[in-house]
């Protein structure tokens, strides 16, 4: 280990004064016992105390203003050891740096300066950190978070943080007058609402109030009710939960929670109805798939007596057709141009079997209030069945519930 030249002036003359000052300083430490492992520095040519190795006291910092010279350290932390070490100061003049005499450690000026500088760096660093930590008060933090929320009103995580911070403040933050203005406007419009569309304005006004005072429980509750009446169930439940979060000990917590349960029931019912409607739509899509624009021609008919009549030969009186456009079916006759009647009416539809009739299934009944019986004024029905592949249609014609004929149609386009 390298040796460092020490001052030649012996500090023995001041040892007694240094010892007395050190003893007084140790007695000034709160408590009767000196903490284990603490060492005290004693200046060799001054009777002023230098800092403890581990615990710096405010009274000791002033001592750093004196010249730094070789000092000693008592490792065991007892007064008698400090006195004993103080009596060995003169021996330190000829020893290597940081050597021990009777369990006493001697420090040169260079080491003591380094220790002092490190202590000061740590002290001022801690002070700067403490000043940074307390730069913004909780209320200032709340104001900053509210400003952030106003820039990002859909940030629900930030909104919840604002509410929780507001709950910690004593006294609680007041509701600004501008927020109350929007709240009263919203409540007034909500009372006047008669249709779902009428709730749009109250919802907007409640939103404005809650951007100014996002910790306001009553505003969240009223907004939740308005959203429920607008059938925006998920948003309604979310705002009612924020109402509970903003005032967990309030008298309205029970009502808000019960309202959440009620809206959840409405939400489930609406979801079931929507699912059923979607299933029905899918079913209808399957019903109409491939039918739109199709034309079917009657191939034969079986009459009431069971006799079969061909509807495709060259000598038939007329040809019978069915057309489907969209969700409607129409039936009509076209006279055979090779017959006398057909020559009189050579083209076009000449007789409607049944008018355009809407259907929502591939098995349905087309009803007419007249068209059969001796007078031709009796009700007539066509029980219609469309095949799954859409190529064939069967119609059973009934008069007063009695089967009159059955026609079979094949698709021609």
Question: What is the rounded distance in angstroms from the CA atom of residue 168 to the CA atom of residue 392?
Answer: 76
* Beta bridge mates, 410: 297, 392
Question: What is the rounded distance in angstroms from the CA atom of residue 31 to the CA atom of residue 91?
Answer: 33
Contact call for residues 69 and 11 (beta carbons, < 8 A): yes
Contact call for residues 193 and 229 (beta carbons, < 8 A): yes
Is residue 345 classed as helix, strand or coil in its secondary structure?
coil
Q: How many beta carbons lie within 10 A of that of residue 354, not counting itself?
A: 20
H or E segment and range at residue 323: strand 318-325
Question: What is the rounded distance in angstroms from the CA atom of residue 411 to the CA atom of residue 359?
Answer: 18
At 60 the pLDDT is 36
Is residue 149 classed as helix, strand or coil in its secondary structure?
helix
Contact call for residues 72 and 85 (beta carbons, < 8 A): yes
Domains of the chain: 12-131 (no CATH), 141-268 (1.25.40.10), 295-411 (2.40.160)
At 103 the pLDDT is 47
Alpha-carbon radius of gyration of the chain: 51
At 115 the pLDDT is 55
In tens digits, the chain (413 residues) has pLDDT values of: 343 333 334 333 333 444 444 344 434 434 333 333 333 333 333 333 334 333 333 333 333 333 333 344 434 344 444 444 445 544 444 444 444 444 444 444 555 556 556 666 666 665 555 554 445 799 999 999 999 999 999 999 999 999 999 999 999 999 999 999 999 999 999 999 999 999 999 999 999 999 999 999 999 999 999 999 999 999 999 999 999 999 999 999 999 999 999 999 999 999 999 998 888 777 778 888 899 999 999 999 999 888 998 988 777 888 889 999 998 999 888 877 776 655 556 555 557 778 888 998 899 998 877 667 777 677 888 899 999 899 999 999 988 878 889 999 999 98
Question: What is the rounded distance in angstroms from the CA atom of residue 257 to the CA atom of residue 296?
Answer: 61
DSSP 8-state code for residue 265: H
- Cis amide bond preceding 14, omega within 30: no
Q: Give Cα separations from 337 to 142, 150, 297, 299 (angstroms).
A: 91, 80, 16, 18
């Amino acid at each position: 280990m390298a040796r460092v030249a020490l001052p030649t002036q012996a500090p023995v003359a001041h040892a007694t004064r240094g010892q007395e000052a050190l003893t007084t300083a140790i007695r000034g430490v709160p408590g009767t016992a000196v903490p284990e492992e603490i060492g005290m520095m004693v200046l060799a040519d001054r009777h002023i105390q230098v800092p403890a190795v581990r615990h710096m006291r405010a009274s000791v910092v002033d001592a750093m203003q004196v010249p730094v010279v070789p000092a000693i350290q008592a490792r065991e932390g007892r007064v008698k050891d400090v006195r004993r070490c103080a009596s060995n100061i003169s021996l330190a003049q000829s020893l290597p740096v940081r050597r021990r005499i009777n369990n006493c450690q001697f420090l040169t000026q260079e080491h003591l300066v380094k220790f002092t500088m490190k202590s000061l760096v740590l002290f001022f660093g801690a002070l700067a950190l403490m000043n940074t930590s307390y730069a913004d008060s909780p209320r200032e933090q709340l104001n900053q978070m509210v400003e952030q929320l106003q820039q990002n009103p859909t940030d629900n995580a930030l909104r919840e943080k604002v509410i929780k911070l507001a709950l910690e403040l004593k006294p609680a933050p007041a509701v600004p007058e501008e927020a109350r203005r929007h709240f009263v406007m919203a409540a007034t419009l909500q009372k006047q609402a008669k249709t779902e569309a009428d709730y749009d304005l109250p919802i907007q006004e409640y939103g404005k109030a809650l951007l100014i005072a996002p910790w306001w429980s009553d505003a969240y509750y009223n907004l939740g009710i308005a959203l429920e009446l607008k059938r925006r169930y998920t948003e309604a439940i979310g705002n009612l939960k924020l109402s509970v979060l903003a005032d967990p000990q309030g008298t309205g917590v029970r009502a808000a929670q019960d309202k959440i349960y009620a809206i959840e029931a409405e939400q489930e019912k609406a979801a079931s109805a929507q699912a059923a409607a979607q299933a029905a739509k899918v079913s209808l899509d399957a019903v109409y798939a491939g039918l739109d624009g199709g034309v079917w021609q009657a191939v034969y008919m079986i009459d009431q007596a069971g006799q079969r009549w061909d509807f495709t030969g060259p000598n038939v009186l007329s040809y019978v057709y069915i057309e489907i456009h969209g969700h409607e079916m129409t039936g009509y006759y076209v006279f055979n141009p090779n017959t006398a009647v057909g020559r009189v009416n050579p083209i076009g539809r000449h007789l409607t079997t049944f008018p355009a009739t809407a259907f929502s299934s591939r098995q349905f009944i087309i009803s007419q209030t007249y068209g059969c019986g001796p007078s031709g004024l009796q009700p007539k029905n066509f029980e219609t069945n469309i095949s799954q592949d859409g190529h064939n249609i069967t119609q059973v014609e009934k008069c007063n519930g009695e089967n009159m004929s059955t026609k079979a149609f094949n698709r021609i386009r």
